[in-house]
Amino acid sequence: MATYKVGSIGEYIREQRKRAKVSLRQLAEATGVSNPYLSQIERGLRKPSAEILQQIAKGLRISAEALYVQAGILDDRDVDTDVQAAIRADVALSERQKQVLLDIYESFRREEGHDGEAAMPMTPPTKGEYR
């Protein structure tokens, strides 16, 4: 959590865009947001509205919520509880399945803070790579 700095929405968007290997112009086309404006957003010169963020998320095929969190308009905690709440609310899952998923999710969260190496030997390098 504390690893992420809310407010660097531009950096985050650029990062996701590079990860997706698309140019600004390609993203502009995919999102319907102008190329210069995307550039300005990435460089922190402009502060996009939620609607623009929504479009960008769609163009990058990522969750709009992740962008909202970065932009500070959605509380990180809300997103956190969403996974647990989502699992609990999913009527397609049996209670046992829910519990399994919740356990795994929670162990992932713990290993995030404590023992990344213990549970998943491959995870640390990937994690470091991600960040």
Query: Residue numbers of the site for a second copy (CB under 8 A)?
Result: 1, 4, 49-51, 54, 62-66, 68-71, 73-76, 78-83, 85-97, 100-101, 104-105, 108-109, 112, 116, 119-120, 122-123, 126-127, 130-131
Q: Which of DNA, a second copy, none has residue 82 at its interface (CB below 5 to 8 Å by kind)?
A: a second copy
Q: What are the C-alpha distances in Å from 67 to residues 10, 13, 58, 85, 100? A: 10, 8, 11, 20, 28
Using a 10 angstrom Cβ sphere, with 0-12 exposed, 13-18 middle and 19 or more buried, the burial of residue 17 is buried
Phi-psi category of residue 26: left, alpha or beta, with phi > 0 → left and psi -120 to 50 → alpha: alpha
According to CB under 7 A, which one of 19, 25, 77, 110 is a site residue for DNA? 25
Residue 21, amino acid: K
* Choices 42-50, 72-80, 105-113, 119-127 (CB under 7 A): range interacting with DNA: 42-50
Query: Is residue 57 near DNA by the rule CB under 7 A?
Result: no
CB of 54 to DNA, least distance (A): 10
